[in-house]
Amino acid sequence: MKIPQFKVAAEQIVYTQKIVQHSLENHSASNIWADGGKTYHYRLTGTLGEVIFADLYDLPRPKLAFGAVGGQDFGRDFVLAGGRNIDVKTSMQRTPTLKDEHGVLIKKMQINDVKNQTDIYYFLRLYAVGWDLFCMAFGTLLASDVKAGRVGKLKLNGEITQRGNGAVWVNDNDCFDIKISELTAIKPNKKMESLGDYKLLTL
């Protein structure tokens, strides 16, 4: 499986920082994260992923940065021409290590929410090297495959998850733990291939 990787542009980061700060100062909905530092960090990560996705496919960039309980877009970050709804899921990792087990998590409550309108999940993973930020485009996943139990392993609330890289945490929700190899690989377009430090990683 080939994973596209490229460098995140400084302008994309600056743009995201501005709309996240504006959202924190003006958005009155309750935050998912009580800690102010985490609120900024997680909103920045999620919103930056949406900015990256928009630029990759010549779509309008987000103008607001959400992070409230229950969300506001109901899992519909972008709507494709055919009417299918895309939810961009972005997370950070500490090192550039690429392993199948370093996959993605989706909360069961989100998948089963009757208001959720996601058709396709699009997964991005960010990591920093010095002052530079890089993005790995992990792959896509049909929401229907998760609901049907065709992919992922259900981890229960309170269950301990441990990765081979030493990361350990206690799940605070029932969630589906999905390996990278269970995702559909993203086919690079010309825009992606033109980005700085672009290359294909082998899983």
Q: What average pLDDT values come out for the chain (203 residues) when binned by 10 residues?
A: 96 92 69 54 86 95 67 69 89 86 85 84 94 95 92 89 75 89 95 95 91
In 3D, which of 68, 76, 61 has the Cα closest to residue 39?
A: 68
Q: How far apart are the C-alpha atoms of 109 and 113, rounded to whole Å?
A: 6
Residue 33: its pLDDT value, please? 47
| Model pLDDT, residue 70 | 45
- Rounded CA gap, 193 and 7, in Å? 11
Instruction: Give me the amino acid identity at 144.
Output: S
The pLDDT assigned to 116 comes to 80
N- to C-terminal Cα separation, the chain: 5
Q: Which pTM does this prediction carry?
A: 0.88
Query: Which run of H or E residues covers position 143?
Result: helix 143-147
Q: Coil, strand, or helix at residue 141? A: strand
Q: What three-state secondary structure class fits 93?
A: coil
> 5, 192 in Cβ contact below 8 A?
no
Question: How many whole angstroms separate alpha carbon 121 and alpha carbon 22?
Answer: 26
How many structural domains are present in the chain? 1
Residues 55-69: b if buried by 16+ CB within 10 A, e if exposed: bbeeeeebeebbbee
Is the CB of residue 50 less than 8 Å from the CB of residue 124?
Answer: no
Task: Find tokens 């993005």 and name the residue.
Answer: 135
pLDDT score for 14: 95
Can you give the pLDDT at residue 134? 97
SS3 202: strand
pLDDT at residue 69 in the model: 47
Question: Could you read off the pLDDT of 113-159 as tens digits, one per residue?
Answer: 878 889 999 999 999 999 999 999 999 999 999 988 899 998 898 88
DSSP state, residue 105: E
For residues 111 and 156, give the distance between their C-alpha atoms in angstroms, rounded to a whole number: 14
**Measured CA distances, 147 to 85, 105, 153, 173 (Å):** 16, 13, 12, 16
Domain with 124, as residue range(s), is 2-202
- Residue the block writes with tokens 């139990």: 149
